[in-house]
A and B are shown apart, each in its own frame.
Chain A
Amino acid sequence: MSTLTRFSAIPYTGPAPTNRNPYVPADVATIDARGAEIAARAGVALEQETGLDLPAFIVAKEAIVPTLRALRDHTEFQFDLPLDLFGVDYPGREQRFDVVYQLYSVKNNERIRLKVRVGETESVPTSVDVYRAFDWFEREVFDMYGVRFEGHPNLRRILTHEMFQGHALRKDYDPAQRWLLSEQGVAKLKPKIDPRFEVEHSDFERVTLNLGPSHPAMHGTLRCAVTLEGETIVGADQEIGYLHRCFEKMSETHTYQQVIPFTDRLNYCSAVINNVGYCMTVEKLLGVAAPERAQHVRLMLSEFYRIADHIVCIGTNLVDLGALTNFWYLFQPREEIIALAESCSGARLLPTYLRIGGLAVDVPADFLSNSQRIVNMLPKYIDEVEALVMKNRIFRDRTEGVGAITKEDALNFGFTGPCLRAAGVPFDVRKASPYLGYETYDWDVPYAEGGDTYARFLVRFEEMRQSIRILQQAIDRGLPSGPVIVDNPYVALPPKEKVYNEMESLIYHFKLIMHGIQPPVGEAYFQVEGGNGEVGFYIVSDGTKNPYRVRVRPPCFPIFEAYGHMIMGQTIPDAIATLGSLNIIAGELDH
C-alpha cells in the first residue's frame, strides 16, 4: 500500500460494512514486482502505486507527455496501443481529479495504468501528439470534468450539447438538473481540411455536406460533415453524442445490480458480452467467481451474440453497398440466436440475463439441443453469403483498398477487435488474457493484411466460423451440473422458496434489495472481447451500494474517431462502405 490515501476524500455514509477490507487482487505480488521492473527500466521517473490490479504509476502532469512517449517507444515495453483515458473525481482532495491513462503493449501482452492528478484550475498537457486516439478521449474528460488539456487542437464538448452547463461527472454535479438546449447555441461544423488537400487544385467549388445524424447510411445517430472537392473528400469531421444517455453518471446513482440492464444498452447488438464484462469486473472486486455452469452459459451466449453482432455488421454493410438479399439471408440465423436468448432470459435484444455472481435463472431444458440446431444451421448461411459477395467483382471493386488504415495508424488510434485484426495485428482479448475458460478451447484468432474494408469482411466471416468451432466444443462438453449463481447472500438473492418460507433468507433478500451489493473499497479493471473490440469496465468502489465510478471503455469510440482519417481522399460511396464495416454502434459510442 502506498502512502497515498486513495479514498480518504470520499465521505462514507452507508450502512455498517460487511467486508470493509480494501480490495487486493490475488496476484498482487507479481503485479507489483512487474510494476517495479517497469519503473526501474522505463527511463523516465515513475512513482509506483502498489496494491492495484495493474502495474500503476503516478505521473506529474508536466511529465506526462514525455512519459507516454518513452513508454510507447521503449524497445522492451512498447506500449503501442492506447486503450483508454478517463477521469475520476475525488472532491475534497487538494488535487481533486485523477486523469487515468491505460496503455497496452501488444508485444508483451500487458497493461499499465498511469494517473495524473490535477486540481480544478490546473490543466494537463495534451498527449494527442503521442497517441492520436487521445484526441477524443481528452475532449471527453474535458466535457465530463472540465479538466483542460493544454495545446489540444480542438478542445470542445464531445458528448453533451454545446449549451450544456457544468461538467456532468463531477461529484458535485446534481444529476437532476435540466438545461434548455436549442439549435441556436450550436456552432456550425467546419471540417478541417486535410494537409494533403490544403491548396485547391481543381476548378470545383468546395462544398460541405452533412452525412447524418439521421441518414439511412449512418448507422445509428452518427454525424459526419465532409468537405468535397468534386467527388473527393478533402476534409471530414465527425460529431457524436446524439445518443448520449449518461451511462456513467447514471451508474453512480444506481446499485451495482441495477447497472446490468444499462450495460445491455451499450452495444445493443451483442448485449450479453457487455453484461459479462460488467459482471466479471464487479466479481473481480468482490473476489467471487460465478459457478462453472454459469460460466459455461456465459461463454456460449457470448459467442452466439458475437455471431449475431457480426451478422448485423455484415448484413447492414452489404445493404449500404446495395446487396439487400444477404441481409435477409443472414437475419434468419440471427433471429434464431435471439430466440434462444429469449428462451433463457425472457427478452430478445436486451436479455439482462446475467447477475453479479452468475445467471438470473438456469437455462431451459432444451438449451443445448436448440444451440446445436443453430450451430448446425449457421455454416450454411455464412457460406452462402460469403459465396455471394466475397468473389463478386463489384463487391471487390467497392471494398478492396477502400477505407484502408495501416497497422501503425490502427494501433495509434486505439483500434481493437476485428478492425485491428483486419489491419494485421492478431490481438484478441480472449487469447491474450483468457476469461471464462477460453484457453481450454481449440480455436484461432483470424487476422488479415491490408486494413481495408475487404479485410474487415474477411476477418468477420472467419471469426464467425471460429465462434462456431468454440460453440460446437462447448455443446460437446455439455453443461456442467451445479448452481448457476453463487451461494452468497451478500451477492445473490436467495432462492424464492427460501424467501417465502425462511426468516433468515427473507432478511438477506431485504438487505440485498435495500442496501445492495457492497464490494470492498478499491478499483478494478476487467476487459472482455466484445463484438467490435475490447470492452473494458473500470470500477471504483467506495464500499457503498452505489459504484463510485463506472467507466466503460467503448471500443467504437476510438474507431469512429479515426473514421475521418480513413475516408480522406475517397468518395462518398467509399465513405459509406467504410462506415458499415467499422461496426459503429451509437449506443456504445455515446454511452
Chain B
Amino acid sequence: MPVTRTAPGIVRVEREAMTLSQRAYLPQILGGMLRTFRHFLRNLFNMKGLPTISYPEVKRVYSERFRGRHILTTREDGTTRCVACYMCSTACPAECITIEAGEDQRTREKFPVRYDIDLLRCIFCGYCVDACPEDAIYMTRDYEMSIDTRARAVVGLRDLVVPPDFPVEPMGWRPYYGKMDKRGTAGGTGIGQPIREAPYKEEMPIPNPDVYRGA
C-alpha cells in the first residue's frame, strides 16, 4: 500500500480506493484463485520442496544448543560428576529439581543419592546447566517426552545418568568453553534443512531409550 511521508521518520499508509475491477469482485477472486492454484501445482510437482515435514517418519534436527531432556554425566571411573551441591536446584526457576546428598564413605565425596527432575514442571530454560560448577548436567536434543502418567514425568538418577563414554557431540545445551564457533542449524522449514529419517541412527544416541516405556 502506498505511503506518504508526513514528517521526518513518520509515514502515513494510505488506503487506495478500489478500482473498477476490484469492485467488480470476480476478476480479483479469479486472480486470487490463480495464485493459490499456482502454489498447489508447484507443490504437487515438487514434493521435495514442500515446507512441511512428515513427522514422525522424518524428524527435524535441532541445533547443538537445543534444550531438551537432561542427562547427568559421568567421570571416567564411572561415578557421577554431580557432587550434590544444590546449585542447579537453587537456580531452577520452576523448582523442579529434588536432590538428596549422600557421602561416599571411601573418598569422602558428596554425591546425590536422589536426583529427580519433574519434567512436567520443568520449563527447559537451561539455568541448571548454566549453574552447574561441575560440568555434571547437560541437556540433550531429545524432545520426544510423551508420557502416560504424571509419575513417569519425574525422572530420577536411573534415567538421567549416562555411561562415561556417552558421546557429547550431538548433545544440546551444555556449558560452552571459550569462543563459540559452532554453526547453528537455523534450517527452518526451507529446502535443504537438516532432517533425518526415523529411527534414530547409530550416531544419534538418546540416553536410556526405555525410560518412558517401563515404570
Contacts and interface: CB of A to CB of B under 8 A. Distances in A.
Contacts of A373: 190
A262 B95 CA distance: 13
B186 A366 contact: yes
A263 to B, nearest CB: 11
Given A335-B188, A344-B184, A446 B13 contact: yes
B168 to A, nearest CB: 14
B112 interface: no
B5 interface: yes
Interface in A344-392: 344-347, 350, 352, 360-367, 370, 373-374, 377, 384, 386-388, 390-392
A379 to B, nearest CB: 14
Q: How large is the interface on A (under 10, 10 to 19, 20 to 34, 35 or more residues)?
A: 35 or more
A262 B93 CA distance: 9
Interface residues of B, number: 61
Given A361-B180, A367-B184, A444-B9, A332 B67 contact: no
Given A335-B188, A384-B35, A362 B179 contact: yes
B178 A346 contact: no
B130 interface: yes
Which applies to chain A's interface (DSSP): helix, strand, loop or mixed?
A: helix
A325 interface: yes
Contacts of B36: 325
B193 to A, nearest CB: 8
B173 to A, nearest CB: 5
B184 A445 contact: no
A530 to B, nearest CB: 20
A109 to B, nearest CB: 13
Interface stretch (B16-24, B100-108, B159-167, B196-204): B16-24
B61 to A, nearest CB: 11
Interface string B1-34: 1010111011111111010001101001100100
Max chain B C-beta neighbours (<10 A), residue from A254, A259, A261, A347: A347
Contacts of B111: none
18 contacts: A258-B91, A332-B188, A335-B189, A339-B189, A340-B186, A344-B65, A360-B126, A362-B180, A364-B186, A390-B1, A392-B22, A392-B28, A393-B22, A444-B5, A448-B13, A458-B1, A458-B13, A500-B135
Given A342-B62, A347-B125, 18 more contacts: A258-B93, A261-B125, A332-B188, A335-B51, A336-B189, A338-B188, A340-B184, A360-B126, A362-B179, A364-B63, A364-B183, A365-B183, A367-B184, A373-B190, A392-B28, A394-B25, A448-B13, A458-B1
Interface of A: 254, 257-262, 325, 329, 332, 335-340, 342-347, 350, 352, 360-367, 370, 373-374, 377, 384, 386-388, 390-394, 396, 400, 426, 431, 443-450, 454-455, 458-459, 461-462, 493, 495-497, 499-500, 506, 509-510, 513-514
